[in-house]
Amino acid sequence: MYLEHFGFREYPFSLTPDTEYFYGNSCHSDVLNVLQVALRSGEGFIAVTSEVGLGKTLVCRLLLREIGEEFTTAYIPDPLLSPRALRIALAEELGVPIQEGWTEDQLMRRIQKHLIKEFADGHRVVLLLDEAHQLPPQTLESVRLLTNLETEKFKLLQVVMFGQPELDRRLAHPSLRQLRQRIGFRCTLSPLDRNATAIYVAHRVSIAGCRTDPLFAPAAVNAVYEASGGTPRLINMLCHKALMAAFGRGEYGVNLMHVHRAIADTTHAVVQPMNSWERFARWFARPFVSNRRPAA
């Protein structure tokens, strides 16, 4: 679409989490560091929460990449599972051979035997649950029971849960108080601030191979920040659409008008009060094709 026009090797603002594009702002780097320290210290449960689009899955994938060879990891991206299905998924991730029709006791004993072997081989096993706010209460309780497997000094299984704020509300239920008390570390991801947004945009443009500096005018980046609230997923969406608008007009830089076109086409963007120039830019942007569903 616009790769050759701007000199990109690939699209810089894809919505798919890509660790190559990780921008280590203070919040995300701090959370990643806390996770690594907590796991090495043997914490049984760690919870990471944030609103939608702030980078939970990216941090999870970075942790998987950087956790170190002393850890064996099991990653379950969609934990909307029954307790038994979760145990089976854990066994499959760890390469544990199981047989159809096994009872719960047989399944648990097989998993425990494997965890003990991993420990004897000098490996710590970590279960990473993405989208953990979707876990049913019974499955959350089954996760707690899995962490009961331990030696005299160490947990045989450590668990890191990544979820939206609903996870905290779910853990507040009285039936899950034992699990709640076991969470040794709680981390929260925050939106980017104005300065971090500018660095984030320039960072992704550079990683994708564009050498135009700056590709996004300062006023355009500021408008992206205001409309996105510093949420990386929305920043990516707006920047991609703004690049499309600039490409469509045969221009080689992104200005305020292009961003206003992107904002007009993005349902979740926050529309800020406009000055006279911005009102003109928004009016001029109206011909941009929108993917919004027409009003009935």
Per-residue pLDDT tens over the stretch 30-56: 999 999 999 998 888 999 999 999 999
Separation in Å, CA 173 to CA 86, 136, 233? 21, 12, 30
How far is the C-alpha of 244 from the C-alpha of 193, rounded, in Å?
A: 25
SS3 162: strand
To the nearest 10°, report the CA torsion of 99, 103, 109, 111: 50
Percentage of residues in the chain with pLDDT exceeding 70?
91
Nearest to 160 by CA among 18, 34, 5: 34
Percentage of residues in the chain with pLDDT exceeding 90?
67
Reported confidence tier of residue 287, pLDDT bands at 50, 70, 90: very low
Question: Which pLDDT does position 146 carry in this prediction?
Answer: 85
Mean of all residue pLDDT scores within the chain: 88
pTM to 2 decimal places: 0.84
How far is the C-alpha of 169 from the C-alpha of 182, rounded, in Å?
A: 16
Through-space distance between the first and last CA atoms of the chain, rounded to whole angstroms: 32
Higher pLDDT, 158 or 296: 158
Q: Are 176 and 141 in contact (CB under 8 A)?
A: yes
Given a cut of 70, is residue 84 above it in pLDDT?
Answer: yes
* CATH class of the region 26-188: alpha beta
SS3 238: helix
Backbone angles phi, psi at 186, to 5 degrees: -125, 130
Question: Which pLDDT does position 270 carry in this prediction?
Answer: 76
DSSP 167-232: HHHHHTSGGGHHHHHHEEEEEE-----HHHHHHHHHHHHHHTT---TTSB-HHHHHHHHHHHTT-H
Q: Are 241 and 261 in contact (CB under 8 A)?
A: yes
DSSP letter, residue 70: T
How far is the C-alpha of 39 from the C-alpha of 71, rounded, in Å?
A: 9
Domain 3-10+192-284 has CATH 1.10.8: yes
Given a cut of 60, is residue 93 above it in pLDDT?
Answer: yes
Given a cut of 80, is residue 272 above it in pLDDT?
Answer: no
Domain extents for the chain? Answer: 3-10+192-284, 26-188
Per-residue pLDDT tens over the stretch 157-186: 999 999 999 998 888 888 888 888 889 899
Per-residue pLDDT tens over the stretch 191-211: 999 999 999 999 999 999 998
